[in-house]
Amino acid sequence: MQISNEPVIKRLFIVFILIIISLSVYYYQNGATDSLNSYYKDPETQNLTYYQENSLEYIMDHHEEYKQLGYQNEDINEMIFILRFEELKDVLKRQLRSDILVPYLAYSNFKYAHMLHYEQVRKTNGVSRLEAINRYHHPNMTDDFYNAIQDAINPQTELVLVNKNYSLTKDYLPGKLVSINDLPLVIPSKDKDRNKVLDVTYQALKEMFKDSKKEGLNLFVSSGYRSFNRQDVVYNYYLVEGGRSYADSFSARPGHSEHQTGYAVDVTCGNVLYRLVEKFEDTQEGKWIKKHAHLYGFIIRYPKNREASTGYNYEPWHLRYVGTDAAKKIVDENLLLEEYLLKYTELPN
């Protein structure tokens, strides 16, 4: 007669958890520092400890029920530290199978309270669990412009998101800007902010210009960094010229311009008289940029036929530094920056 190993496995699991708790208590009583003592005396921490103890007791009492839903010991152990006591009970109440819940636990921006909504988004759109989480919490990344404004995502990083729904504050500064005066400039001047970018942008731009020059091409920088106040002036120029709708199709409102991040740059060439015009795409320089910019970490931020999702007219001259890894995926999969962030990164809720 074959004897089931289930009771033994259960006892071993419980012993393992108790050993962890015992070691934690021993460390606290014998080797904790003053800061750790303060941590454990904090009411919030005591409350968390209380819930974890309740969670452990509940798991022990209902271990077999979790196993029947497909949860392995390692899954249960992870759930104890991620889910609240009420959420652990809800798993059994709803009879949530492990194949539904466990994959979500890998993401730091996962919130159990929204899991059924995530699943609805995932199944409706045929996307990954990560993208479902991101889409649920950021439903208006590429539409409903200027009506659901939030703070910029990933500030001070090369994946910062600034668009018509994500903005920078008036006093936002990107960090130390460096001069690009050793590159061909449309308006040379050491004092102009437009001829400055972040160093990582400059280094990539310098390499790209050097390699394009080897091909007999002559690229020029028209504009780099642009402050909030300067963007206000630029936007109001278009506003006076053609009204709100016209201005919004050509220019970002102050606080919504990528130029304020230090990662954006406008490039042009002599064949279009150094202007920022769509005809730039037909020049040898424009064609080279389209084919090679991603190799240096740049993307054409507002591509053709994506106006409805970017809110801007096609701008073959507007380059945005995102790093070579992100740029390659964006180009290979024909994505917008917003789509890349939704698909591949853990966005804040």
Q: How far apart are alpha carbons 317 and 302 in whole angstroms?
A: 9
Q: Compare 22 and 282 and report the one with higher pLDDT.
A: 282
Alpha helix stretches (DSSP H) within the chain: 6-31, 34-41, 43-61, 63-68, 73-82, 85-94, 98-101, 115-125, 129-137, 199-214, 228-242, 244-250, 284-292, 307-310, 324-332, 337-344
Whether 59 has a pLDDT exceeding 80, the answer reads yes
Banded pLDDT at 194 (limits 50, 70, 90) = very high
Higher pLDDT, residue 30 or 138: 138
Task: Give pTM, 2 decimals.
Answer: 0.85
Is the Cβ–Cβ distance between 196 and 180 less than 8 Å?
yes
Measured CA to CA in angstroms, residue 21 lies from 18, 24, 26, 330, 342 at distances of: 5, 5, 9, 46, 38
For the chain, the structural domain boundaries read: 6-94, 155-344
Would strands 177-179 and 196-198 be described as parallel, antiparallel, or unpaired?
A: antiparallel
Residues labelled catalytic: 315
Q: Which residues contact 204 (CB under 8 A, 6 or more apart)?
A: 296, 297, 298, 321
More confident residue, 191 or 24: 191
Closest CA to 209 of 158, 280, 258, 269: 269
For residue range 89-139, what is the model confidence (pLDDT) as tens digits? 999 999 999 999 999 999 999 999 999 999 999 999 999 999 999 999 999
Q: In the predicted model, is pLDDT for residue 21 greater than 60?
A: no
Q: Look at residue 212 and tell me whether its pLDDT is greater than 60.
A: yes
Mean pLDDT score across all residues of the chain: 89
Length of the chain counted residue by residue: 349
| Region 155-344: CATH code | 3.30.1380.10
Give the pLDDT score at 8.
52
Would you tell me the crossing angle of helices 85-94 and 73-82 to the nearest 10 degrees?
A: 130
